[in-house]
Amino acid sequence: MSSTTFPRPQATTRSVTGISTGKLAVWWIVASEIVIFGGLLVFYLLMRFRHGDPWAEAATHTNIYIGAFNTFVLLTSSLFAVLAHQAAESDNGKKAARFLMYTIGGALMFLCVKSYEWSIEIEKGYVLTKNVFWGCYYLITGLHGFHVIAGAIIMGFVAKDAAKGKDLQRVECIGIYWHFVDIVWLFLFPLFYTTAAG
C-alpha cells in the first residue's frame, strides 16, 4: 500500500461533518461489524436457551484460565493502541509505531494461545462437528480471530507509515477498529468460558 505516489483526490480532504474521513469510515465499518457479530451471537444465545442443560454441560469443557489470559492479553493490547493514538496526537510517529508494534505483539500472543487452546480441545475430541455448541465455539471465536489477524496486518502497515511520520491520523482509526475487536471478545469471554463454570 504505497501511498507516496497515489494522488489523493480533494474529496478525501474535505470534512463537512467535522469528523475526518478515515475515522468516519471506520465508524461505519464498526457499525456493520456489530450486526455481523450480533447475528452470530443472537444465534448462539437462542441455541443456548433452547438447549439448556446439555449446552451448559458442553460449555464447561472450555478452559476459563486460557480464556482469561487471552482477555488480559487483548486488554493490554488495547491499552497500547490508545497510547499509540496519544503519541500520534503529539505528532510522535516513532513512539506511535512502537506502541502499535506492542499491540501487534499482543495480537500474536492471543493467536498463539488460541492455537494452543484449540489443539488441546481438538485432541480431547471437542471438534467442530461434535455438537452445535462446539460448532459455534470454533466458528465464532474463529471469526473473531480472523478479525484479529486482519486488524494486525492493517496495523502493521499503519505502523510502518507512522514510523516515517506519515498519515498519523490512521493510528486513531486502526485503534478504533482494534478496540471494537477487544469489545467483541469481552462478550465472547463470558458467553463461552465463565458462565458455564458457575
Which residues within the stretch 37-76 sit at the binding site for other proteins (CB under 8 A)?
37-43, 45-47, 49-51, 54-55, 58, 64, 68, 71-72, 75-76
**Contact pick of 106, 145, 151, 175 for other proteins (by CB under 8 A):** 175
Q: In the bound complex, what is the minimum distance in angstroms from residue 161's beta carbon to other proteins?
A: 11
Q: Which stretch binds other proteins (CB under 8 A): 20-28, 105-113, 116-124, 150-158?
A: 20-28
Q: Is-contact 26 158, C-beta < 8 A?
A: no
Minimum separation from the CB atom of position 111 to other proteins (A): 19
Query: Among 25-33, 107-115, 116-124, 153-161, which window interacts with other proteins (CB under 8 A)?
Result: 25-33
Q: How far is the CB of 172 from other proteins (least distance, A)?
A: 7
Residue 148 region by backbone torsions, left for phi larger than 0, else alpha for psi between -120 and 50, else beta: alpha
Matching residue, cell 492471543: 110
Q: Does 113 bind other proteins (CB under 8 A)?
A: no
Q: Given candidates 81, 104, 152, 174, which one binds other proteins under the rule CB under 8 A?
A: 81
Q: From the CA atom positions of the chain, what is the Rg in Å?
A: 19
Which residue, 86 or 109, is less far from other proteins as judged by CB? 86
- Smallest gap, in angstroms, from Cβ of residue 45 to other proteins? 7
Interaction of residue 123 with other proteins, rule CB under 8 A: no
Contact between 88 and other proteins by CB under 8 A: the answer reads yes
At a CB cut-off of 8 Å and minimum separation 6, what does 45 contact? 191
Collapsed DSSP state (helix, strand, coil) of residue 188: helix
How far is residue 148's CA from residue 81's CA, in Å, rounded to a whole number?
13
Q: State yes or no: residue 182 binds other proteins (CB under 8 A).
A: yes
Q: Which stretch binds other proteins (CB under 8 A): 35-43, 100-108, 110-118, 150-158?
A: 35-43
What is the helix (H) or strand (E) element at residue 60, kind and residue range? Answer: none
**Counting beta carbons within 10 angstroms of the beta carbon of residue 156, is it exposed (0 to 12), middle (13 to 18) or buried (19 or more)?**
middle
Task: Give the integer Cα–Cα distance in Å for 73 and 20.
Answer: 30
| Secondary structure of residue 93 in the 3-state scheme | helix
